[in-house]
Amino acid sequence: MEASLERSDSPHLFSGSTLDGYTSGVWHASALLADRVKAVRQPYSGAGVAELQEQIDTVDLDRPLGDTGAALHEVARLYLDNAVWFHEPTYVAHLNCPVAIPALSAEVLISAVNSSVDTWDQSTAGTLIERRLIDWTAGRIGFGPGADGIFTSGGTQSNLQALLLAREETLAGPAGDRATAIPKLRIFATTESHFSVSKSAGILGLAADAVVGVATDGTGRMDPEALAAAIDDVRRDGGIPMAVVATAGTTDLGRIDPVDAIAGICESRGIWFHVDAAYGCGLLVSRRRNLLDGIERADSVTVDFHKSYFQPVSSSAIVVRRGETMRRIAVHADYLNPRTAVVPNQVDKSLQTTRRFDALKLWMTLRTMGAEQIGAMFDAVIDRAHEVYLEICDDPDFEAVAAPTLSTVLFRYRPAGTTVAECDDLMPRLRQRLFHGGRAIVAGTTIGGHYWLKFTLLNPNTTRDDLRGVLDLIRGIGAEMTGERDEAAAVMA
């Protein structure tokens, strides 16, 4: 009986008796990663789905290798050799950033200690560090001391929570019976807003037509007059305005809605005002801070530190101007966060229960680099976007949609004599061929019914020469594919 009570530490569990194995494993992993990164010369290997699927399927998960080093080498072959490297200067596709080294140091601590910041007795100082960062972010937004917030997994979750708070605030007002009011609730956003707005409406049980499209001003920014008219129309038809979502950095064009004007409309009509600044939150520490004027009047703001603050995924937050609004979604459990608790339990205001201490990454970054350097890095990618836009405008083989606001540039390869229809057919195929070549990765989207390529710049180390090189690759592939098309047409004739 006594023998069964003796502790027998597993050699694979982190503890004081397995530190040699831990340090060896971490060193081995970092060494493997460093070796791969030293050899990286392009953002992707070019491997296709079928090739990678075959490699993954050959692994027998019921026959362990029994050795961390062997498993790491297998993972290096399967994963690292075919990873998409966001630090490579010719990766210019999506809102993925190279990450700050201080944040990577924090990841070592986060994963090993494995704090869960839902309750005080699982995180202690971790809870206070996160709360301090929320206060710091709220101060940058311009909120007063009554602000509050919580770290989340990303912009989609932050937007969902903001709209949940908006729903509860609206239903707590003169909306009437909850069951009859919910089908009448309406959210106002433009077609340029993030897809998570519509997704959130569905999750929240709103009507299929709950998201009301607001016209833009022709540049991709919400038109305040159109917003006011849309709100009045909804009320006239018996609907209940629940929230207005302004975007500070639309995904495609990087546009910033006129936040201050929208805030005035929401205030005068008593509607929750949410600003989705997942992309544009870097402006809070930028020399371009004025682009967010009026954001301090919002009821809630989404910030994605894992975009323009150069943090590893995940690192996002929702911040609210009036902290008491967070209490509308609080649920208490006696075993976890009883109502009588006198310590701060973050689960009171989070949609998640178990939650990583992701805030430590931002803390380490701020304490090492400082906000000014982060802002300068974000400004650098915006500057680069403006530079490459001008180069594209001067190149007869390309055309651009419009001058950038942030760091996205929409353009296409369209040499003389190429019709719009031919361009729409060519661009998505060109993008795929570029991706499978692995030397550069760009994004693609549809604007006004036409297909465009997209540079999304979030790497301060990407130079004008790097972007010229990507344009030359696109030009070369485009010319090659146009020649193939013409040859095929000639054969058919």
Give pLDDT tens digits for 308-317: 999 999 999 9
- Does the pLDDT value for residue 254 go beyond 70? yes
Amino acid at 351: L
Over residues 414-425, the mean pLDDT reads: 94
Is it the case that residue 483 has pLDDT exceeding 80? yes
Looking at residues 47-73, what average pLDDT do you find? 96
* pLDDT surpassing 90 at residue 4: no
Average pLDDT, the chain: 95
The residues, ordered by sequence, that sit 6+ positions from 59 with a Cβ below 8 Å of its Cβ are 74, 78
Tokens representing 264 are 């005035």
Tokens 């997942």, located at residue: 278
Please give the C-alpha separations between residue 128 and each of 194, 360, 417, in angstroms, as whole numbers. 31, 11, 62
Token digits of residue 469: 């090189």
pLDDT for res 365: 98
Give the pLDDT band (50/70/90) at residue 10: confident
Instruction: Kindly give the residue spans of alpha helices, DSSP state H, lying in 182-333.
Output: 196-203, 224-236, 259-269, 305-308
Q: Which of 178-182, 260-264, 386-390 has the lowest mean pLDDT?
A: 178-182
What are 215-241's pLDDT values in tens digits? 999 899 999 999 999 999 999 999 999
The residues pairing with 240 across neighbouring beta strands, listed in sequence order, are 185
For residues 304 and 293, give the distance between their C-alpha atoms in angstroms, rounded to a whole number: 18
Q: pTM for this structure?
A: 0.95
Alpha helices in 6-124 (DSSP H): 19-39, 49-57, 68-78, 101-113, 120-123
pLDDT at 491: 67
Q: What's the mean pLDDT in 69-79?
A: 96
Placement of tokens 């966060």 in the chain: 337
456 contacts 405 by C-beta, under 8 angstroms: no
Show the CA angle centred on residue 424, arms to residues 420 and 426, nearest 5°: 110
Find tokens 């038109």 and name the residue.
Answer: 223
Per-residue model confidence (pLDDT) at position 3: 46
